[in-house]
Copies of this chain bind each other. A is one copy, B any other.
Amino acid sequence: MFSINENYLKLPGSYLFSTIAKKVAAYQSENPEAKVIRLGIGDVTLPLAPAVIKALHGAVDEMGAAETFKGYAPDLGYEFLRSTIAENDYRARGVQIDIDEIFVSDGAKSDSGNIGDIFGQNNKIAVCDPVYPVYVDTNVMAGRSGLYDPDRGLFDGIIYMPCTAENNFIPELPAEKPDIIYLCFPNNPTGTTIPKAELQKWVDYALQIGALIIYDAAYEAYIAEDDVAHTIYECEGAKKCAIELRSFSKNAGFTGTRLGFTVVPKDLKCGDVSLNSLWARRHGTKFNGAPYIVQAAGAAVYSEEGKKQTKEQIAYYMNNAKVIREGLADAGFEVYGGVNAPYIWMKTPQGMSSWDFFDYLLGKVQVVGTPGSGFGPHGEGYFRLTAFGSAQSTLEAVGRIRNL
């Protein structure tokens, strides 16, 4: 008789954003006239940049002609894309990453879940709290946790590092020694980040205790301040202790186009086993490449036109962030983030719970945000708003919330 992976049964309820989607759909079907503004899920709204559209059309034409048709992609991704990444995201910042240290994928969500495949089941995981749910959920699924404790709102056996207004949303080195540490800066969900000097401390710590850092840099393009690292490899020694996840979703609007990459340096070893080889094996065996047309589109993001146009998109979103941040602060709300990231993390008013505030906002002014507690117990009492709406709907949403 076959058996299931019992670890799945530890997960309470459904994936956070599926729950929100269902709640909003239910509300919308009961109130078909309501003009709901969605600042919940971190999904972009601007169309793909003209340079990207042009590259897509060009690649589609290639797929339609025998001489230029592309079948299976190279295991690690097309070299034209990986060399562009190595040049623009790394060499330009003084970091040397070889093209066989870059693995092109269908996005950072898949990678952040799948990367766990190459690690043993007994690794002790540390995550920030609040945190992007995928890090925790996928480790629970892989058996790297105990049971869910509904009273504490967290899983036994996982180290949670509180990030709250009290510590400026910068985690402290944990009391208990972790084996694998997930860090995401600029941070989802808090919209805050960490100075480079602070990040160096984490690298030093990981090297000292033999831990691995999984560094999610999906929001790198939003960094506005000078003392923030754009890649963890700007920190000394990081190539010996860190894997970096990158995404095209937020810098170029690829949420529905799907492209990302993971950097696994060849210096990264466990004993004499190269993690680069392990991930290459995983990548080559359980994945068959991102579509050629999408990889061609990804390369166009790095063209002169592409850079200019995606920079404008980011400026557009960051103006929304400013509108939300300043508008809500002006109305007396306590707000964080939104300077180096497209997220605003606000305190719920009058000590409301995060989900109560979610229901209240949706029911009262038809604005959808994300309950902070959905990201972990230390997110309770907070609420996330995203800057990915249109300028007009963002203004409108801020106006509605101000007049609550």
Contact = CB atoms under 8 A, between A and B. Distances in A.
Interface of A: 1-6, 8-9, 11, 14-15, 18, 41, 43-48, 50, 53, 56-57, 60-61, 63-66, 68-73, 75, 106-107, 109-110, 113-114, 117-123, 133-134, 137-138, 141, 179-180, 209-212, 253, 255-258, 270, 273, 275, 278, 281-282, 284-294, 390
A285 B71 contact: no
A179 B117 contact: no
Contacts of A63: 47-48, 53, 56, 256-257
A44 B292 CA distance: 14
A125 to B, nearest CB: 10
A258 B141 contact: no
A287 B113 CA distance: 8
15 contacts: A2-B180, A2-B210, A2-B212, A5-B117, A14-B284, A43-B71, A50-B64, A56-B60, A60-B60, A69-B253, A69-B256, A109-B287, A133-B285, A141-B285, A258-B288
A391 B178 CA distance: 58
A284 B18 CA distance: 8
A241 to B, nearest CB: 9
A114 B60 CA distance: 29
Nearest to A210: B1
A371 B284 CA distance: 19
Contact of A4 (B43, B255, B278, B286): B278
Nearest to A120: B3
Given A48-B63, A285-B113, A4 B270 contact: yes
A68 B47 CA distance: 8
A258 B138 contact: no
A256 B60 contact: no
Nearest to A48: B63
Given A63-B56, A119-B3, A285-B134, A256 B110 contact: no
Contact of A289 (B114, B258, B270, B290): B258
Contacts of A291: 256-258, 291, 294
Contact of A211 (B2, B18, B73, B122): B2
A3 B270 contact: yes
A293 B56 contact: yes
A43 B133 CA distance: 37
